[in-house]
Amino acid sequence: MKKHQKLLLSIAERFADKRIDPPCMYAGNCGGCALQHFDYSTQLAIKKEYCNALLNTVISVDAIEPSIPLGYRSRMDYVTAFGKIGLRRRGSFKHVVDLYDCLLLQDAGRSIFATIREKISGVEDYDYLVHKGYLRYVILRQGFNTGQVMANFVVARNENNLEAVINAIYNNVDSISLILSDGLADLSYGKVFEDIKRGYIEESLDGIIYRITPNSFFQANTYMTQIIYREIARHVYGNVLDMYCGVGSISLYVAKQAKSVTGVETNHEAVAAAGHNAALNGIDNVTFVQADALEYVSGNTMKYDVAIVDPPRTGLGPKVVGKLLQADLTRIVYMSCNPVTFAQDAAMLVDRYALTWCKAYDMFPQTQHIELLAVFEKK
């Protein structure tokens, strides 16, 4: 068991008298949820202690901002292996829990999943232990505010052997794509080799429309994302750099508060979608650059007032932090999905920027994950 899992368990142990019967029959076995056997207010109390332990004195949070406890997820990646479709067993990459439903997913996605389950039995799945077979993942994505649904099938061969499944869902989803993932790595993304239907869905946040393509990142809990973006917009002014910008979601959201926004992102599909999203919303003070974050901050004079950073779970790391320390920024707004790497980055950033504000959000209720938003001001 990993160190952080042990920490969470030891904190949860102190709340043992608050245990409830979990709403989902797979809780405890399925790796998706770690805290479902506590009511929601107890989950938030456990997470607050866990978060502060992970932040390790860099800063502490007073509370965890609550979300919708169930039915919040706009994306689920279901593994198809060993005659099963579902999520990996808690603590075991080698085992898949055969799911008939998942209460975290939004309603429309749940009903599409039920149809897919019914029709999928004839399709060859993929044994990721011996690397043999065809269908690796079924991915369902849904716009929380638009209701649009996307179904993606990640396969190991450039073939469409999914006719029965696709026919069954075709009229009830907005987008269907086939994605090729033919390497040894267990990836639920790859090259889109066929858009069977449309190839994108849309989400909207406070009036801004976003196009989401099969491989591009979009936050999995729109309800909470909207609350966090509203907060980010309060800390933005002047010329803004949005590093790790995905499909431009934060860039476009804060464009009204900024003189200009430059979004930087490695994934070319996301950068193309970001450009499309700017045009779709008639926003013309935003530019998107396809680049590695480190390369971009190394090669540019960084004439920005504010940098927004929203890196993957690995965090910024010492090299990117080093460049931010050399840059002449007035403020850094840091959105993080991993308090551990956030604490490491923050401990370095405070050499030059004071950590003045931090808040924690429950982006993933029922799970151990915590989202943070923090503001650093130049000293």
Q: Which of 79, 102, 270, 375 binds ligand SAM (CB under 6 A)?
A: 270
The verdict on 250 binding ligand SAM (CB under 6 A) reads: yes
What is the signed CA dihedral for 262, 264, 267, 271, rounded to 10 degrees?
A: 0
Name the pairing type of β-strands 191-197 and 201-205.
Answer: unpaired
Q: Which of 241, 293, 360, 375 binds ligand SAM (CB under 6 A)?
A: 293
Angstrom distance (rounded) from CA 70 to CA 151:
21
Q: How far is the CB of 18 from ligand SAM (least distance, A)?
A: 32
Residue partners of 154: CB distance under 8 A and separation at least 6: 135, 136, 137, 138, 139, 179, 180, 181, 187, 188, 189, 190
- For residues 206-225, which are near ligand SAM according to CB under 6 A? 217-219
Please work out the total of residues on this chain that contact ligand SAM, with binding judged by CB under 6 A.
19
From the number of C-beta atoms within 10 Å of its C-beta (0-12, 13-18, 19+), residue 161 rates as middle
| In the complex, residue closest to ligand SAM by CB | 246
Q: Which of 24, 30, 337, 358 is catalytic?
A: 337
Task: Locate 342 and state its tokens.
Answer: 């956030």
The verdict on 265 binding ligand SAM (CB under 6 A) reads: yes
Angstrom distance (rounded) from CA 362 to CA 48:
10
Q: How far is the CB of 186 from ligand SAM (least distance, A)?
A: 18
Among 19-27, 77-85, 242-250, 351-359, the segment contacting ligand SAM (CB under 6 A): 242-250
The verdict on 126 binding ligand SAM (CB under 6 A) reads: no
Among 4-12, 36-44, 55-63, 238-246, the segment contacting ligand SAM (CB under 6 A): 238-246
Residue partners of 177: CB distance under 8 A and separation at least 6: 150, 152, 153, 192, 194, 195, 196, 199, 214
| 337 included as an active-site residue | yes
Instruction: Decide if 324 contacts 316 (C-beta within 8 A).
Output: yes
The verdict on 254 binding ligand SAM (CB under 6 A) reads: no
| 231 included as an active-site residue | no
Among 17-25, 120-128, 264-272, 350-358, the segment contacting ligand SAM (CB under 6 A): 264-272
- For residues 298-317, which are near ligand SAM according to CB under 6 A? 310-312
Query: What does the binding site for ligand SAM look like in residue numbers (CB under 6 A)?
Result: 217-219, 244-246, 249-250, 264-267, 270, 292-293, 310-312, 337
Catalytic site positions:
337, 371
